Structure 1
C-alpha cells in the first residue's frame, strides 16, 4: 500500500502549484499562517514545516514578523532539504511502502545511546523495516529511538506511515535537522535476505540522526541501500554568481538520491 503524502507535504504541494502556475507574483505575500491553518485545517506546526520546505527549495522567502513572500524564480536555493523515504519515492515516481520486520524494546547499545545523548543504562525502542519502492526492496532500515519517542510508534501502522509522519503530523514534534554519514558496507546474512542479495554483497550504508527543537535527538537510523537501485547525485556551484569565485569552497546546491525504475 502506498504511503500517503504527509499533511505538510500536501500543503507544500498545493502552495507550490499555486506559485508555479502564476497565481502569485514574485514578491507577493502569501496568506498568513493562521489563514493557511484555517484553509487546510491543519496545525501551525504543519504550516510552518510546509513553508520551511518551500523556502529551502527557493520558492519563497520569509521576513520575521511580516510573513512569507514569493521568490523570483530566476534564482535557485542553495539549501539542501532533509527528506524522508516516502518523499524520495514520490519524487522518483515510485510508490513507497514498508514491510515491518520487528518493533521492540531492546537493551542499551553504548554507541547508539551516546549518539542519542541519553543515559547509558536507558533502554531503546528498535524498529526494523524493509523499505519498498513500487514493491521492490530498495533498502533495509534499523532505527533506534529513546523510549519517550519510541513508545509513540506501537499503535501505528508502520507499513503505510513513516516515522517522520507519525512524529511530526500526529504528535506535532518537528524534525528540524539531521546529520548524515554515508559509507560502504557489506550485507550480513539478515540484511541480504531481506534485500534479496548474497551475503557479503556491497551495500550503501547511510547513518543519520534526526533532531527536533532544542537540538534534541529523536532517532538514530542505519539504512542499507541496494546499490542496484540507488545512487547519490551532488550538484555544486563553482562560483557565487554575484561575488565571483568562492574562497570558502563549493556551495552545495543539491545532494539527492536517484532511484532506478
Structure 2
C-alpha cells in the first residue's frame, strides 16, 4: 500500500475505478465504513476522507445514518476537489517538500481570530513554510491554528508532512470542507524573500479556511503562489438538454491549479 499520507487517495482511486467501470449501479449502496476499513486495513478517518472526495467528485451521495450510494453518472456533477499541496504536486508530477521558517505561538490577530471563530484574546499557533515543487519555491504559506490543533504540530516534521497529514492521518480529525478566496497582490519584502522574487512583484494569494466535523475551523491559511510556476484553470461543462444552462450559466466542472515543470 502507498505511504500513510496517501492512503485515502489509494482508497478513493480503488472505489472510483469500481464505480466508473460499472461494478456498481446507480443508486447502489457501497459497503459500510466498517467493511471498507477492514478491507483496506485503514482507519475510519481515511475511509471518510476517501468517501468525502468521491462525494465532492459527484460519484456518490451520502445519507446520514444509512450510508453512501452511487450517483447516476449521467447527472450533472461538480468536480471541484479540496486538495492539499502534496496532492497537487503529485498530480502535477512534481516532488513536494517544505522548508519550515517558523512554528510558534503568536498574539491574537483580529481578522484571523474572527475567521477561526475563537475568542478575540486567544493566542494562536502560526506556521510559516516555503512549499517546494521538485526543489523550486512554488508557494509560501502562513497558517494560523487555534492552540488545540496547533499544539499537535510541534513534534512533527513539517518539511515532509503536510498539516493535512498530521491532523487527518495521525490524529483522525477529518478535513471535510474549506472555503477559498483568490486575489492578486504585490509581494512585500518578507514574501518576496521566501519566493526568491523582487519586492512588489505580483503573486497569487489564496486565503483558505479548512473545517472539520460540526463546521469547526481547523486552520486559516494565506498561500502566496509565484505566478511563474502556477496558474488556475477553470473547466466548464454544458448540458445542451438543460433548460437552465442559459439562465444560470455553465456549471463548474473543475477548478484546479496547473504547475509549470
Q: Which moved more, 1:11-20 or 1:139-148?
A: 11-20
Aligned to 1:90: 90
Aligned to 2:167: 167
Instruction: Name the TM-score, length of structure 1 as normaliser.
Output: 0.89
Aligned 8 A contact 2:230 2:260 in 1: yes
- Unmatched 5+ residue regions in structure 1? none
Structure 2: distance between partners of 1:93 and 1:21:
25
| CA positional deviation for 1:60 | 3.2
1:54 and 2:66 equivalent? no
Structure 2: distance between partners of 1:29 and 1:120:
45
Aligned 8 A contact 1:33 1:44 in 2: yes
| CA positional deviation for 1:132 | 0.8
| CA positional deviation for 1:237 | 3.5
Q: Which moved more, 1:138-147 or 1:70-79?
A: 70-79
Aligned to 1:40: 40
Aligned 8 A contact 2:48 2:174 in 1: no
Instruction: Name the TM-score, length of structure 2 as normaliser.
Output: 0.89
| CA positional deviation for 1:131 | 0.5
Aligned to 2:213: 213
Structure 2: distance between partners of 1:54 and 1:209:
21
Aligned to 1:189: 189
Structure 2: distance between partners of 1:39 and 1:119:
43
Structure 2: distance between partners of 1:6 and 1:192:
31
Structure 1: distance between partners of 2:139 and 2:153:
20
Deviation readout 1:3-34 (Å, 9 max, x if unpaired) = 86433222112323444556556665433221
Q: Which moved more, 1:113-122 or 1:65-74?
A: 65-74
Aligned 8 A contact 2:179 2:209 in 1: yes
Please report the RMSD computed on the Cα atoms of aligned residues, expressed in angstroms: 2.3
Distance 1:65 1:105, change over 3 A: closer
Aligned to 1:140: 140
Count of residues in Structure 1 that have an aligned counterpart in Structure 2: 259
Aligned 8 A contact 2:5 2:169 in 1: no
Structure 1: distance between partners of 2:32 and 2:238:
37
